[in-house]
Structure 1
Amino acid sequence: MVTATFRFYEELNDFLARPLRRRTFSCACARGATAKHMIEVLGVPHTEVELILVNGESVGFNHPLADGDRIAVYPKFEALDIQPLLRVREHPLRVVRFIADAHLGGLAPLLRLAGFDTLYDNHYPDADIEALAAAQQRIVLTRDRELLKRRAITHGCYVRTLRPREQLREVFERLDLAGSAQPFRLCLMCNAPLRRIAKDEVGDRAPDGVLERHNQFVTCDVCRRVFWEGTHWQRMRALMDSVAGAPERPDLNAAP
């Protein structure tokens, strides 16, 4: 048995037992225990961690701990504004894609609205989420910290807020998504790409009054829903502007 000293910073303290928060504390560790193992034993999912310093040196999750080690654990640097050069990532993602668990049924369609490929099914077991995240290189979004401790999940985000629009703002801020958003590209229900459709192809998929007032339409080839720039679109446009702050205001005619 070895003893190491730990200090967790910023929002990582939310995962710790209350007596351990925002202070340095000693903890007994099994001989040969890794940094990842002990961080998660203490309650912090590895996907929430950006940097681990052991005795002042940056180490990876698999670093074995020794007696007397001093471990400092830092969260995502977007929240701390620390130089990106210090980031330690073994498996960087080339494309931002998500998979949301059953707790985030309201967030998933809002991420699709913003243009982010987001898988969601409230019947996904944790093992399926883990497998899909690994196979498709997706970021796991969840309010279940135990899910984020699964070994095959390399990228994840514990969502702290409860209401979908607040969750959207939280994810945008924590993962710095504003520059990557492409609103109104995906079907909110199916996660499939939307495409332009001629007005005379709409048929009975839109009310007569809508056909009289609008000329631009898009459709989803999976569910065959048709969308147009009505009052609901305007409300969603305002939401996207508020979270992404995009100077451009693409209309439905820009859909692929």
Structure 2
Amino acid sequence: MPEYRAFFHFHHELRDFFTEPDTALSVQYGFDGTPSVKDAIEALGVPHTEVDAIVVNGAPVGFGYHLADGDAVSVYPASFGPDLPSTVALRGKPRPLFVVDVNLGKLARLLRMLGFDAAYRNDFHDREIVELAAGEGRIVLTRDRRLLRFKIIEHGYWLRSDDPNVQISEVVKRYALSPIIKPFKRCLVCNGVIEPVEKEKILDRLEPKTILYFDDFFICSGCSKIYWKGSHYDHMNKTLGFL
């Protein structure tokens, strides 16, 4: 039986990680030795990437704080951070670069529609996702909370919903993306940057009716896919209309 105990209080959406959210208001954690508060939080089922502030016995601490017997630990998500008088920064501010888990292809497509760099393949291995996140400073988006427990992942988010339209709203809100949305700047297929291209240079790749009715074209710098503001453009606008 563990020799010591600490008492944890998880705030707001961090309660989503508990089968019975009310139990997150007061969680006892038994331990021996002096484990870090980060290890304790993850042992209780909350990925470190979801935590934005930690307060122990009324004082802000970092992930490296070592627990002592009787500690009262309050754990806060990013949405609660501004309401705290002072905190210890747990990580730097992320750039809006994403790596999307294998079963979230529709979310990756929606992020690209909004103009965000979203790395995605449907055959990614976990290790590839982790290495992309660490090597390129990408935010991991996943429905697999175990993936977020890799220590070298600095930024990540566990999506609460299975619905891609709800998921994109979650991500936009979580990372305050609304002011920097630039729709239709990324290729939906390969994530490359879309750039204007002269119509005359791609005539051999266009259907006769497309040549007749459209004059403004764009090409992906990665895979050379051609885009224009046809019916698919209107459809994408409707798709993004809920944001």
Alignment TM-score, normalising by the size of structure 2? 0.92
Secondary structure at the aligned position of 1:63 is classed as coil
RMSD after superposition: 1.9
Deviations 1:123-179 (A, max 9, x none): 221112111111101110000001111100010011111122221111111211101
Report the more deviating stretch, 204-213 or 11-20.
11-20
Report the more deviating stretch, 162-171 or 134-143.
162-171
The AA in structure 2 aligned to 1:148 is L
Give the corresponding residue for 2:30. 28
Rounded to whole Å, the distance in 1 between the matches of 2:69 and 2:210 is 71
Give the corresponding residue for 1:10. 12
1:97-176 equivalences in 2 (<5 Å): 97-176=97-176
Shift in CA distance, 36/81, structure 1 to aligned 2, threshold 3 Å: closer
Rounded to whole Å, the distance in 1 between the matches of 2:94 and 2:45 is 29
Rounded to whole Å, the distance in 1 between the matches of 2:82 and 2:93 is 20
The answer as to whether partners of 1:93 and 1:137 remain within 8 angstroms in 2 is no
Give the corresponding residue for 1:51. 53
Rounded to whole Å, the distance in 2 between the matches of 1:48 and 1:179 is 22
Rounded to whole Å, the distance in 1 between the matches of 2:86 and 2:186 is 34
Quote the offset at 1:94 in angstroms. Answer: 5.8
Give the corresponding residue for 1:250. none
The AA in structure 1 aligned to 2:74 is A
The AA in structure 2 aligned to 1:14 is D
Shift in CA distance, 19/164, structure 1 to aligned 2, threshold 3 Å: closer
In the alignment, structure 2 segments of 5+ residues that lack a partner are: none
Report the more deviating stretch, 190-199 or 220-229.
220-229
Give the corresponding residue for 1:247. none
Shift in CA distance, 225/171, structure 1 to aligned 2, threshold 3 Å: same
Rounded to whole Å, the distance in 2 between the matches of 1:87 and 1:114 is 32
Shift in CA distance, 19/186, structure 1 to aligned 2, threshold 3 Å: closer
Rounded to whole Å, the distance in 1 between the matches of 2:85 and 2:200 is 54
Give the corresponding residue for 1:253. none
Give the corresponding residue for 1:187. 187
Rounded to whole Å, the distance in 2 between the matches of 1:17 and 1:31 is 28
Secondary structure at the aligned position of 1:102 is classed as coil
Give the corresponding residue for 2:200. 200
The answer as to whether partners of 2:111 and 2:118 remain within 8 angstroms in 1 is yes
The answer as to whether partners of 2:112 and 2:187 remain within 8 angstroms in 1 is yes
Rounded to whole Å, the distance in 1 between the matches of 2:220 and 2:85 is 41
Shift in CA distance, 38/213, structure 1 to aligned 2, threshold 3 Å: same
Secondary structure at the aligned position of 1:106 is classed as helix
Rounded to whole Å, the distance in 2 between the matches of 1:31 and 1:20 is 28
Matched, 1:41 2:53: no
1:54-69 equivalences in 2 (<5 Å): 54-69=56-71
